Amino acid sequence: MIRLGAGAGFAGDRIDPAVELAREGDLDYLVFECLGERTVAAGQLRRLADPDEGYDPLLEARMRAVLPVIEPGRTRIITNSGAAHPLAAGRRVTEVARALGRPTRVAVVTGDDALAAVRSLDPILWETGEPLSRCPDELVSANAYLGADGIRQALAERPDVVVTGRVADPALYLGPLQHEYGWADDDWQRLAAGTVVGHLLECAGQLTGGYFADPVTKPVPGLARLGFPFADIRPDGAATLSKVDGSGGRLDVRTATEQLLYEVDRPEAYLTPDVTADFSGVSFQQTGPDRVEVSGAGGTARPDELKVTLGFRGGWLGEGQISYAGPRARARAELAAEIVSERLTTVHGIPADAIGVELIGAGAAFRGLAPANEPIEVRLRVTARTADAAQARLVGWEVESLYTNGPAGGGGARTGVQQTLVVRSCLVPRDLVSPTVTIMEER
């Protein structure tokens, strides 16, 4: 039996639940999933500014927290925190381990960088329906979703830590299962079973009550000390999900079912680089407190092409926010929005279609789909997409200047400016992309 633990479900995830798992979970593998769609492109921008950068900014903090508490030779770490620069990330892990006095063998998986491949292939982009070459934005990154094979190859080198760049999230979990159990590359049934386990664990706390809790319909105890899940997987792929005794959260058929279907557009054909998994026959059974059995995954052949995420420079986004409360709060916020929009277009020449207005507290989250009653307070948020930072700063300036030039009672103005990235997708034939494993020197 192999035990896999979820140490992180996104780049900004909490660190203490991973320490708890490392200390008390008796894990074979601790997996940190830390790459969102934009994360690699954002890392690439950092790498362009500093050639030693480009990996997950929290990698060092995670390793400092976890390496001292894992049992050497017992629990191995797998993470995609390498982002846009897995080799630099691997070197950093080696340095952190040395500073901690914990000799650590690090294996790095590269090969997801598909910039050269997409430049020569000129594939059709999903979002625009046109070839990449017709896209006017500056392409900064292109990363293919690798499967489990790179991780499996890395684990054959007996490392303590495996660092990757872009890898399909479930493959971070399927890789060690394939390594340990020797599941064949066309054993679709078991690859699907492992993929289901990976999918359930990849968002960490979302399996144990995070993104689930509702104080009335779905109460979850101890969310401030939410325990991250682990799974015991048997050689046939059947698995038991659980979490550390005494940790916060809940793990039951309801939390598992919600996570099974999270972000799955076609449950009968969940595409990964390793297998086309069929979730439609999956079922759960509660076998004890915070213990759930999962079974019933089906699988068919993997796709011939790999998905590639492309990152483009997207210009700048400026924003300003200000609050109005009490009688006519909404009407005053609307008036403020009109004033700012008029000045951004007429005084500053920002096109009207680049400007966005949200009335937070009056239905903004539902994007106008639901009628909002008169709220006790409304927070106006104005945004504009601009070509440069100076123009973006004008948005916050115009919102702030409402203090003395706008509707009565405007308070709490805040401003912000950020560089944006645009993410698009395409496919490339899988034979154009292959993983490479590099072992970092142990010193």
Amino acid letter, 182: G
The correct pick among 211, 234, 387, 434 for binding other proteins (CB under 8 A) is 211
Distance CA 409, CA 327 (A): 11
Nearest distance, CB of residue 425 and other proteins, angstroms: 7
Query: Is residue 300 close enough to count as binding other proteins by CB under 8 A?
Result: no
356 to 395, contacts with other proteins by CB under 8 A? 356, 358, 360, 364-367, 369-370, 381, 383-385
Query: Is residue 266 close enough to count as binding other proteins by CB under 8 A?
Result: yes
Contacts of 54 (CB under 8 A, 6+ apart): 43, 44, 46, 47, 83, 84, 85, 88
Nearest distance, CB of residue 190 and other proteins, angstroms: 22
The correct pick among 200, 399, 422, 437 for binding other proteins (CB under 8 A) is 422
Closest to 335 (Cα-Cα) out of 414, 406, 401: 406
Nearest residue (CB) to other proteins, 87 versus 413: 413
- Structural contact between residues 335 and 343, judged by C-beta atoms closer than 8 angstroms: no
Nearest distance, CB of residue 439 and other proteins, angstroms: 35
**Piece of the chain touching other proteins by CB under 8 A; list 32-40, 164-172, 191-199, 403-411:** 32-40
Nearest distance, CB of residue 174 and other proteins, angstroms: 21
- From start to end of 104-144, where are the E strands? 106-110, 139-144
Nearest residue (CB) to other proteins, 181 versus 262: 262
- Structural contact between residues 435 and 111, judged by C-beta atoms closer than 8 angstroms: yes
69 to 98, contacts with other proteins by CB under 8 A? none
**Piece of the chain touching other proteins by CB under 8 A; list 44-52, 99-107, 192-200, 414-422:** 414-422
Distance CA 66, CA 23 (A): 9
Nearest residue (CB) to other proteins, 37 versus 186: 37
> What is the DSSP secondary-structure string of 47-107?
HHH-TT--S-TTHHHHHHHHTTTSPTTT-EEEE-TTTT-HHHHHHHHHHHHHHTT----EE
Which residues form the interface with other proteins (CB under 8 A)?
A: 36-38, 126-127, 211-212, 214, 217-218, 254, 257-268, 280-283, 314, 317, 356, 358, 360, 364-367, 369-370, 381, 383-385, 420-423, 425
